[in-house]
Amino acid sequence: MGFLSKRIDARIAGYQRELIETHYREVDNMYRQIRGWRHDYRNHIQTMKAYAAAEDWDAIRRYLDLLDEDLTRVDTVIKTGNPMADAILNSKISLARSKGITVVADAQIPVRLKSSEIDLCCIIGNLFDNAIEASAKLPEDQRLIRVYMDMKNTQLYISFTNFTAGKKLRKEGKLFRTTKGEGHGLGLVRIDAIVERLGGYLSRNSEDGAFTTEILLPQV
């Protein structure tokens, strides 16, 4: 039994490393876009100076509209107050939108967390990945993920909701049945292990075509 437990722990640790590396690549790609826009900043200023010198105000207005659209695509969408949460949430929101999935997010972390950044990365990343995959199976006009994070007294509250394919998911033990395979199962196990280790609370609910995960993590 001890040997089997060690093998499972090793597989979970390996999946965790892979997850963090994936998140790093996603975050790095997002910040590459931001650095690219900043690199072009001087050229944009020079262009608008030229339009101003020619008193071509219509051209300046059109150019500013284009810059506004461009900046909206690369600017930080969510500012929670926690750098790791910002990085993971924004990278996943960008990924979801690239798949035609609408994300409605309201996330605030106004205090320094007791939870480690790696734990936060694993929890948010897994929740978002699961929601993205489920949403991608739906018609585009039904793809929606709702994210809410805030402090409730001394606990960090995390809630993820996404629509499913119109049927209630079947629960097996503590987990809902998944067809994604081993990696997905290990992701859920990892979330459960982190929440349990931190003395938190976790609830999963599948009702009315929506799947919701709620987590409370003590911060004192």
- Exposure string (b/e) for 90-119, b if CB count within 10 Å is 16 or more? bbbbbbbeeeebebebebebeeebebeeeb
Which amino acid does the sequence have at 153? N
Query: What average pLDDT does the structure give for the chain?
Result: 78
Quote the Cα angle for 81-82-86, to 5°. Answer: 95
Could you read off the pLDDT of 51-105 as tens digits, one per residue? 899 888 988 888 888 877 766 655 556 788 887 788 888 888 888 888 899 999 9
Domain boundaries, the chain: 77-218
What number does CATH give the domain 77-218?
3.30.565.10
pTM: 0.65
